[in-house]
Every structure is written in structure tokens, then in C-alpha cells.
A = this chain, B = another copy of it.
Amino acid sequence: MTRTHEKVSAPAGEGHARHTRESAAAGVEQALKLLDGRWKLVILFHLFGGRVLRFSDLERAIPAVSQKMLAQQLRQMERDGIVRRTVHQQVPPKVEYGLTAWGQALCPALDALLTWAALRDNPTAAAAESVGASPVRTSAVADAEPP
């Protein structure tokens, strides 16, 4: 990823199930490209669970990010259909960000990655390998900080 490169030119003929090694790699690359960006994941995890935050909330939640970057990455995710942007026509301006259903659906996939990472030292391999064996709770994030 990293590069805009592409050139992958996927066959784009399959429904979704059958992949050659190349098309599978290309597919995953495509998917990862949507998540590429220094802040996308942090934003994502702050929005998981149906949370809706204003721009300034996100700024506060992620102090290290610059306005430019925050805006940019939010815009990209909006274009990609991951984030829903709601503008409340009023002064002072108020813009809220939340996840689309598809965006929410990312959670289990990221969960799988987390699980995989945890597997490195944790040789619960055999059992844990079937990612969604135990009910995938679409959470991955413990609800710390109760309101």
C-alpha cells in the first residue's frame, strides 16, 4: 500500500467467493488502502459502537492529530462509504461523524487481526484459529470510560 500505485487491475468478474492468489492479494490491498492513513484506525475505533462525535470531539479524543489530517482522513472515509457525515445547518457550525453500517462491519475484521496478533506468543493456536468460533461480538473494544 502506501503508494497510490495500483496497477493491480483486478479481474473484477467474480461474485466474491473465488479468488486467484493475485486477486485475493489485490482484494485485501484494496481493503487495506481504505484503512491506510495514520489516523483512520484511531478514528474508526472511536466511532465503533454506533458512536457519533463532532469534529471537535474527535480533536479532543485524538490530541496528536492536526486539523488538516483529521479533516482529510474523515473525508476519505466518507468518500469510501465508511463514515457518515452529518452537517447541522446552524451557527456556530456543527458537524457530526458516525459509521455507516458497512463501516461498523469492519469491526469483526479488525478483531480478527487483533486475534492474530495476540496469537504470536499465545499458542492457543488450534482453538483460536477459527476466528469467529466464539460469538463475534463486534466490539473488540471494552467499554471503558462509562458516561
Contact = CB atoms under 8 A, between A and B. Distances in A.
A16 B115 CA distance: 8
Interface residues of A, number: 65
Interface in A102-147: 102, 105-106, 108-120, 122, 125, 129-133, 135-136, 138, 140-142, 144-145
Interface of A: 1-3, 5, 7, 16-22, 24-25, 27-32, 35-38, 41-42, 44-46, 48, 61, 64, 81, 101-102, 105-106, 108-120, 122, 125, 129-133, 135-136, 138, 140-142, 144-145
Contact of A141 (B1, B24, B61): B24
Contact of A129 (B64, B81, B108): B108
B114 A131 contact: no
A21 B38 contact: no
B115 A101 contact: no
